[in-house]
Amino acid sequence: MEQEFVNDFTRLLEELDALLVTHPANVRYLSGLPHAEDAWLWLDAKGPLVLATPLYENDLAEAGLPHLLGRPKDWPKLLAERARGRVGFESEHLSHAALEGLKAAFRGVELVPVRGRVEALRIKKRPEEVERIRRAMAIARVAYREVRPLVRPGVREVEVAAELECGMRRRGAEGRAFPTIVASGPHGAFPHAVAGEKALREGELVTLDFGARYQGYHSDVTRTLALGEVPAELARILNAAKAALEAALLRVGPGKPIAEADRAARAVLEREGLLPYYPHALGHGVGLEVHEAPRISFESEGVFEPGMVVTIEPGVYVPGLGGARVEELVWITEEGYAVLSEGL
């Protein structure tokens, strides 16, 4: 991964003499360092330079990356010698205290806030990244299949979540991608409900939203299940979410406008009178972060491009009644797309 990043240099340094990368996912993407939360990456015409604590000496030596070691508060001083002209920093990912440290250490340097430069490179996944996401999905798939018989009346939401997370870990996940959602009955009306003490009940919908992390990469998938016979209104909600998903997927593929996919989902829900109950965007990119660019919404600009890995996840949430969300993880290819979350 790290060899290729030299090619991306010109794009990253556009109108800058140097760029200081501080967002852990960005540092990891460019350097390949697995412990990027404790490192900065400096880029200038001389090449990359990693700033890290002495804990990471072995990792850095192994990776063959030029580096300087020290306490984080001393990193600005270590960089001062290379800092000149216009130095970009990631304004969304640098603490105010760290910025003050840079200002104090750098003399005659213009600090320029920049946003989204490395994120823009991360949008299109390289084959080895897709493989890791695929693996993270495969782990989640196996865990789901094992846990599926447990999803029945009388079992508490937290038990289902615990078994899912445990199953993913046992299958090789570094951890869960995010706190597992198991939301049943009226809980399902909250898009970001987690898993609570509530027991599942006959006649309810239950939404399971989960994923695994594997070698830094994530998976993300949602299924909504009916527990036995559900009232007609709940069945209608679930069918509408599924129909919205199908309509959206027809608009996914290379060169197709991103906004159209969300518009297609919204049109289905509008026909059902359920649009007011769909409060979020259709989806998001997935990679080193669970939520990353591109955002999939009716307001998004641009088109789907080969290499993107995104979720398509329409949902319907009716307060007091319940909710349904269906989420697929799709990889945009040259020909169309592949559903990485199939088989669940």
Q: What's the one-letter identity of residue 263?
A: R
Pick the closer one to Zn ion by CB: 163 or 327.
327
What part of residues 86-105 is at the interface with Zn ion (CB under 5 A)? none
Q: CA–CA separation, 327 vs 282, rounded Å?
A: 9
For the window 254-293, what string marks contact with Zn ion as x by the rule CB under 5 A? Answer: ----------------------------------------
Binding of Zn ion by 311 (CB under 5 A): yes
Angle at 196 between CA 191 and CA 201, to 5 degrees: 90
Pick the closer one to Zn ion by CB: 220 or 292.
220
Closest distance between Zn ion and the C-beta of residue 7, in Å?
Answer: 30
Q: CA–CA separation, 232 vs 47, rounded Å?
A: 62
Binding of Zn ion by 209 (CB under 5 A): yes
Phi first, then psi: give them for residue 315, nearest 5 degrees: -145, 155
Closest distance between Zn ion and the C-beta of residue 310, in Å?
Answer: 9
- Mapped onto helix, strand or coil, the DSSP state of residue 141 is helix
Binding of Zn ion by 328 (CB under 5 A): no
Pick the closer one to Zn ion by CB: 50 or 143.
143
Residues in binding contact with Zn ion, number by CB under 5 A = 5
Pick the closer one to Zn ion by CB: 130 or 282.
282
Report in angstroms the alpha-carbon separations of 53 from 8, 36, 79: 26, 11, 14
Closest distance between Zn ion and the C-beta of residue 245, in Å?
Answer: 13
Closest distance between Zn ion and the C-beta of residue 43, in Å?
Answer: 31
- N-terminal to C-terminal alpha carbon distance within the chain: 31
Residue by residue, DSSP assigns 305-344 as: -TT-EEEE--EEEETTTEEEE-BEEEEE-SSSEEETTTT-
Closest distance between Zn ion and the C-beta of residue 211, in Å?
Answer: 6
Pick the closer one to Zn ion by CB: 44 or 327.
327
Out of 90, 220, 262, 328, the only residue in the binding site for Zn ion (CB under 5 A) is 220
* 130-165 b/e (C-beta count within 10 Å ≥ 16 → b): bebbbbbbbbbbbbbebbeeebeeebbbbbbbebbb
Closest distance between Zn ion and the C-beta of residue 26, in Å?
Answer: 21
Structural contact between residues 20 and 105, judged by C-beta atoms closer than 8 angstroms? no
Instruction: Report CA Rg, the chain.
Output: 22
Closest distance between Zn ion and the C-beta of residue 1, in Å?
Answer: 24
Pick the closer one to Zn ion by CB: 93 or 176.
176
Q: CA–CA separation, 152 vs 204, rounded Å?
A: 10
Pick the closer one to Zn ion by CB: 67 or 284.
284
Pick the closer one to Zn ion by CB: 78 or 296.
296
Closest distance between Zn ion and the C-beta of residue 224, in Å?
Answer: 12
Which part of the chain contacts Zn ion (CB under 5 A), choosing from 42-50, 112-120, 236-244, 322-330? 322-330
Q: Strand pairing of 337-339 and 328-332?
A: antiparallel
Binding site residues, Zn ion, CB under 5 A:
209, 220, 222, 311, 327
